[in-house]
Amino acid sequence: MKILIYGAGVLGSLYAARFFQSGYDVTLLARGKRYDEINEKGVILEGALSKECTVSRVPVCKTLDANENYDLIIVLVRADQTAELLPVLAANRNSKNILFMVNNPNGYNEWINSVGRERLFLGFAGAGGTRKNGVVTYHVVSPILQPTTLAELDGTKTNRIKQIAKIFENAGFATAISSNMEAWQKTHVAWVSPAANAILAAGGDGKTLSQRADLLNLLVDAIHEGFAVLHKLGVPVTPKKMKIITAMPKGLTRFIFKQWSKTQHFDTIATRHTLAAYNEMKLLSEDFQAIARSANIPTPALDQLHQYMLDCSQQK
């Protein structure tokens, strides 16, 4: 199978290197300085906790030509970067399977209109990290919390989605197939966006967040409000295990966030990602604000954290 990974950030680099190490015919599309780094030195990965370092000479390209033919294109870019690549994907009609692994709480009509319903399927990474000086520092999230998640648009478990899941599994990633990816992504943004905004309000520092009772209270209240928004709109919290966040007493949830935000794990997958992807976090916060308004219920904590994020924007 001939695979193109479109996007050479943390996640694109991680998946490309793991696929390459597993023997797959994979090419990584990168641009600018990142192309030069990979072309000269390969994809350099460092485990955030293990500190193990690997170098993979993944083939790299700068563009996707209209006449190229890949069995699978995996799009791994930030939400604020998708608009510019949709025309490129639309022009490439030979590649029949396009997997978008991108934050998107707004539904998929824009993607469908660009690449076609029959070519599109959906996913989300089970990892996070940061990139500095050409080195990707990453952490693969426990599958108990968030495996690499894949889905067909209609939620059916087709042979195609099972085959793609097998590729990820062969590369060492635990996978799950979702029957409702739109609900999954709305649920994800409902708690990740308040967390990102709380990090920004704490000055971009997890340890500071752990010491700010006011922000921890707002964060927990905002997640409760976000899940209430989903309930009002008839969107099921997905996967079901995420319901534990609002089923627990708020004091326990606050304690968990207080302890977690002090850790290297939180710093790698939450704090540093938020700071590196500020424009994406701002877009997602704005998107969920719009979703919340459509539910027509009070969301004071969500609103306040969103305002903190906007205040950070004005200070930049």
The tens digit of pLDDT for each residue in 207-226 reads 999 999 999 999 999 999 99
CA distances from 244 to 145, 237, 247, 250 (A): 12, 10, 5, 11
Give the closest residue to 56 by CA, choosing from 25, 16, 92, 114.
16
Give the closest residue to 117 by CA, choosing from 101, 97, 103.
97
Averaged pLDDT for residues 52-75 = 98
Least confident interval from 13-27, 161-175, 272-286: 272-286
Please give the Cα distance from 312 to 316 (Å, whole number): 7
pLDDT of residue 313 exceeding 90, the answer is no
Please give the Cα distance from 215 to 208 (Å, whole number): 10
- How do the domains of the chain map onto residue ranges? 2-179, 183-315
Amino acid at 212: R
pLDDT of residue 104 exceeding 70, the answer is yes
The mean of the pLDDT values for the chain is 96
14 φ, ψ (degrees, to nearest 5): -65, -50
Give the closest residue to 7 by CA, choosing from 23, 42, 31.
31
66 φ, ψ (degrees, to nearest 5): -65, -30
Instruction: Round the CA-based radius of gyration of the chain to a whole number and report it.
Output: 19
Averaged pLDDT for residues 283-294 = 97
CA distances from 223 to 35, 213, 232, 253, 302 (A): 38, 15, 14, 10, 8
State which fold the 2-179 domain adopts.
Answer: Rossmann fold (3.40.50)
pLDDT range class, residue 260, cuts 50, 70, 90: very high
257 φ, ψ (degrees, to nearest 5): -65, -35
* Cα angle 26-32-34, degrees, rounded to a multiple of 5: 55
Q: What is the pLDDT of residue 315?
A: 57
Please give the Cα distance from 156 to 165 (Å, whole number): 13
CA distances from 98 to 153, 164, 222, 277 (A): 12, 11, 34, 23
Q: What is the pLDDT of residue 259?
A: 98
Could you please report the per-residue DSSP string of 114-141?
Answer: HH-TTTEEEEE-SEEEEEETTEEEEEEP
pLDDT of residue 47 exceeding 70, the answer is yes
pLDDT of residue 303 exceeding 80, the answer is yes
Domain 183-315 sits in CATH at 1.10.1040
pLDDT range class, residue 34, cuts 50, 70, 90: very high
Helix (H, G, I), strand (E, B) or coil at 167: helix
70 φ, ψ (degrees, to nearest 5): -115, 145
Helix (H, G, I), strand (E, B) or coil at 236: coil
Longest Cα pair distance anywhere in the chain, in angstroms?
A: 57
CA distances from 141 to 144, 146, 150, 175 (A): 8, 6, 15, 11
Please give the Cα distance from 79 to 283 (Å, whole number): 8
Counting Cβ atoms within 10 Å, is residue 311 exposed (0-12), middle (13-18) or buried (19+)?
exposed
Distance, CA of 302 to chain centre: 20
Q: What is the pLDDT of residue 312?
A: 82
pLDDT range class, residue 165, cuts 50, 70, 90: very high
Under 8 Å between Cβ of 288 and 104:
no
Please give the Cα distance from 83 to 190 (Å, whole number): 22
